Amino acid sequence: MLALNRHPSGRHFLQIPGPTNVPDRVLRAIDQPTIDHRGPEFGELGREVLAGMREVFQTRGPVIIYPASGTGAWEAALVNTLSPGDHVLMAETGHFATLWRRLAERLGLRVTFLPGDWRHGVDAAEIAAALRADRAHDIAAVCVVHNETSTGVTSDIPAVRAALDDAGHPALLLVDTISSLGSIDYRHEAWGVDVSVSGSQKGLMLPPGLSFNAISERALARAEQARLPRAYWDWRDMLAVNDKGYFPYTPATNLLYGLHEAIAMLRAEGLPEVFARHRRHAEATRAAVEAWGLEVLCLDPNGYSPALTAVLMPEGHGADPLRKLILDRFDMSLGQGLGKLSNRIFRIGHLGHFNDLTLCGTLAGVEMGLAAAGVPHRPGGIAAAMARLAVAEPPAR
């Protein structure tokens, strides 16, 4: 807490969909002396985290680690593969897709933005139609957000890949996995993604400050011709020294200690088990929302996010006063509505360092908050979630 006069007892519940709660193990790993980033010890750390991130992205290809927020990795994906004036196809899944589009336009790219209602994932059929209509192959890249954190809706990335393949279109496929990596099954290589963009502060359970690009062979080849100005983000400077575990500039050494620990935790649990745990907690959360008589923002059951659930407020009730009351009384932070969803929804983050009791505590805070704020609802959400947890596949141990 930055308000130093505020010392609530017990743990703060940081249930926004990122940054997420950082495990003590990771915090302890970060709390080690910073070492010489050109010395022999660092090379070993660098090689291990770079190899570990290939496992997490499910790829054998290169992964780049930037000392930057996810936004930096968005920019890196574009400037390494595209040239001024290039045409990019994007889909309006929500606030983050909208921000990525704005970034692309600022870089001087021409964006076609397929409109969306912020309650569904990308429509692969619409992408297929746009690609088929583009006989001249003017479109240089298709950019999609895998888990739209502003809405709690996921998109079917293999279906987008199939749209490209069926159209025989050579555009690159760029995917934002910032809030899905390490929480929702994501396969950079098997799904034929060219650049995957991610960040440290969501499923990876780290503080903010690191971000990633996973890169395909095709994207690497494209980087040789791309003409957008790039310096800090240039993959080539990174790759030239990454095989020995080094970086072309000072890396975020202590965050890399944390990353090393987080990768060990993901390995110990097993990625399939991590993904199953997130699906199970999302299901139980939706059972609670349904029992309250409230509405989940996502309208497509195939798009329900395993990482977070966005809940629509009943007409006439603001989400922000409810979130404020829950923070003041129960010391829990919930995600706010972003962009046009401001004050209309709250978002429950159930990703990262999270278990059955974290879920029960989180839902108890929401249910007590709904009652205290006088928001019309039925009680029994936690009971419904507990009943769902009892029958859903148990967590692997």
Q: How far is the CB of 56 from ligand PLP (least distance, A)?
A: 16
Between CA 74 and CA 135 the distance in angstroms is 27
> Could you please report the per-residue DSSP string of 208-249?
S--EEEEE-HHHHHHHTT--S--STT-HHHHHHHHTTT--SS
**Closest alpha carbon to 347 in 298, 274, 291:** 298
> Which part of the chain contacts ligand PLP (CB under 6 A), choosing from 30-38, 68-76, 252-260, 324-332?
68-76
Stretch that binds ligand PLP, among 63-71, 219-227, 355-363, 385-393 (CB under 6 A): 63-71
Report in angstroms how near the CB of residue 145 gets to ligand PLP at its nearest.
5
Q: Which of 69, 336 has the CB closer to ligand PLP?
A: 69
**Is 218 marked as a binding-site residue?**
no
179 binds ligand PLP (CB under 6 A): yes
Q: Measured from the CB atom, is 65 or 178 closer to ligand PLP? A: 178
* Three-state SS at 5: coil
DSSP letter assigned to residue 323: H
Task: Give, in order, the Cα–Cα distances in Å from 49 to each of 46, 203, 255, 302, 332.
Answer: 5, 16, 11, 33, 32
- Where helices occur in 107-232 by DSSP H, the ranges are 124-133, 157-167, 217-223
Measured from the CB of residue 96, what is the shortest distance to ligand PLP in angstroms? 4
Per CB under 6 A, contacts with ligand PLP among 139-168 are 145, 149
Quote the least distance from Cβ 71 to ligand PLP, whole Å.
3
Q: How far is the CB of 38 from ligand PLP (least distance, A)?
A: 27
Residue 50's nearest CA partner among 185, 204, 239, 187 is 239
Is residue 333 near ligand PLP by the rule CB under 6 A?
A: no
Which of 371, 36, 59, 102 is CA-nearest to residue 198? Answer: 59
Q: Does 176 bind ligand PLP (CB under 6 A)?
A: yes
Total residues contacting ligand PLP (rule CB under 6 A)? 12
Burial (CB < 10 A; 0-12, 13-18, 19+), residue 273, is middle
Site string for ligand PLP, 11-30 (x = CB under 6 A): -------x------------
Among 14, 54, 61, 69, the residue binding ligand PLP under the rule CB under 6 A is: 69
**Site for ligand PLP, residues 189 to 248, rule: CB under 6 A:** 199, 208
| Minimum gap (Å) between residue 205 Cβ and ligand PLP | 14
Residue 336 binds to ligand PLP (criterion: CB under 6 A): no
Written as six digits, the tokens of 320 are: 């922000």
Q: How far apart are CA 384 and CA 397, in angstroms?
A: 24
> Which CB atom, from 208 or from 248, has the smaller least distance to ligand PLP?
208
Whether omega before 170 lies within 30 degrees of 0, making that bond cis, reads: no
178 near ligand PLP, rule: CB under 6 A: yes
Radius of gyration for the alpha carbons in the chain, expressed in angstroms and rounded: 21
Pick the closer one to ligand PLP by CB: 81 or 149.
149
Q: Which residue is nearest to ligand PLP (CB)?
A: 70
Spell out, one character per residue from 80 to 119, where the chain touches ligand PLP: x when CB under 6 A holds, - when not: ----------------x-----------------------
Neighbour count for residue 225 (Cβ, 10 Å):
9
Closest CA to 155 of 167, 140, 142, 139: 142
Which residues sit at the interface with ligand PLP, rule CB under 6 A? 18, 69-71, 96, 145, 149, 176, 178-179, 199, 208
- Known binding residues are 347
Residues making up the annotated binding site for substrate are: 347
